[in-house]
């Protein structure tokens, strides 16, 4: 895995002050991708040369956590490198949380070994017609993308997962059936439907 960029002290890729790692390479090629310069897998620096820098930067007390993005962190060419980084962070800096952006859907990545070390995953491809960069859709580029509480979701069976609805900067987990996510449903519609269903079914 090669790293294209390391952004220090960013507040754009999850809650709090974060260290963001941008890997090289993505073959999903979403129409309207804001980061097409990251599609090539051969750019940047081998991650092994940057491990010490990542750890020594992240251990600074003002960092809440680290975010993996790109490019596509969970592409088979990249995932092993991020797995090594994630293991190292959980071993050396266990209070720091790990967020991971991916263009894959939750069902396609939930069983990857790396998920045992990820706290929150922002999943789903960028879909141009669903584009929403307002604060209502915080931390995502399009409305189809979901913020998943990975740790809690993995505690349930495959029919259930927890989607966080970012609200004023807070991450609020919801227990849902994946059937509740028909294409195009907004978070507001989803929450309304979820609460209505919960009320009716107890």
The stretch near ligand SF4 (CB under 6 A) out of 69-77, 89-97, 105-113, 129-137 is 69-77
**Could you say whether residue 73 binds ligand SF4 (CB under 6 A)?**
no
**Could you say whether residue 72 binds ligand SF4 (CB under 6 A)?**
yes
Helix (H, G, I), strand (E, B) or coil at 37: helix
**Could you say whether residue 70 binds ligand SF4 (CB under 6 A)?**
yes
Peptide bond between residue 71 and the one before it cis (omega within 30 degrees of 0): yes
Q: Which spans in 93-146 are helix H?
A: 106-109
Shortest CB 108 distance to ligand SF4, Å: 12
**Could you say whether residue 127 binds ligand SF4 (CB under 6 A)?**
no
**Could you say whether residue 68 binds ligand SF4 (CB under 6 A)?**
no
The stretch near ligand SF4 (CB under 6 A) out of 23-31, 110-118, 143-151, 178-186 is 23-31
Distance CA 198, CA 27 (A): 39
**Could you say whether residue 44 binds ligand SF4 (CB under 6 A)?**
no
Task: State the DSSP code for 32.
Answer: T
Task: Using DSSP bridges, classify how beta strands 45-46 and 2-10 pair: parallel, antiparallel or unpaired.
Answer: antiparallel
Cβ within 8 Å of residue 199, ≥6 positions away: none
Shortest CB 34 distance to ligand SF4, Å: 7
Residue appearing with tokens 């209502």: 136
**Could you say whether residue 154 binds ligand SF4 (CB under 6 A)?**
no
Shortest CB 127 distance to ligand SF4, Å: 9
Cα 162 → chain centroid: 13
- Cβ closest to ligand SF4, residue 68 vs residue 171: 68
């Amino acid at each position: 895995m090669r790293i294209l960029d390391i952004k220090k002290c960013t507040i754009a890729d999850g809650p709090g002050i974060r260290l963001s790692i941008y890997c090289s390479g993505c073959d999903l090629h979403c129409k309207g991708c804001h980061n097409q310069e990251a599609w090539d897998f051969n750019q940047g620096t081998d991650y092994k040369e940057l491990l010490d820098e990542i750890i020594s930067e992240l251990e600074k007390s003002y960092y809440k956590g680290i975010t993996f993005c790109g490019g596509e962190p969970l592409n088979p060419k990249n995932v092993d490198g991020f797995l090594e980084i994630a293991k190292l962070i959980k071993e050396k800096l266990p209070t720091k949380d790990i967020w991971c952006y991916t263009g894959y859907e939750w069902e396609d990545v939930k069983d990857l070994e790396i998920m045992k070390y990820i706290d929150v995953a922002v999943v789903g491809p960028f879909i141009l017609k669903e584009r929403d960069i307002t604060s209502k859709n915080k931390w995502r580029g399009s409305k189809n993308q979901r913020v998943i509480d990975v740790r809690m979701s993995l505690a349930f069976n495959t029919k259930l997962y927890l989607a966080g609805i970012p609200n004023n900067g807070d991450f609020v987990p919801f227990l849902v059936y994946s059937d509740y996510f028909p294409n195009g449903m907004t978070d507001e519609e989803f929450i309304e439907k979820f609460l209505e269903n919960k009320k009716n079914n107890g």
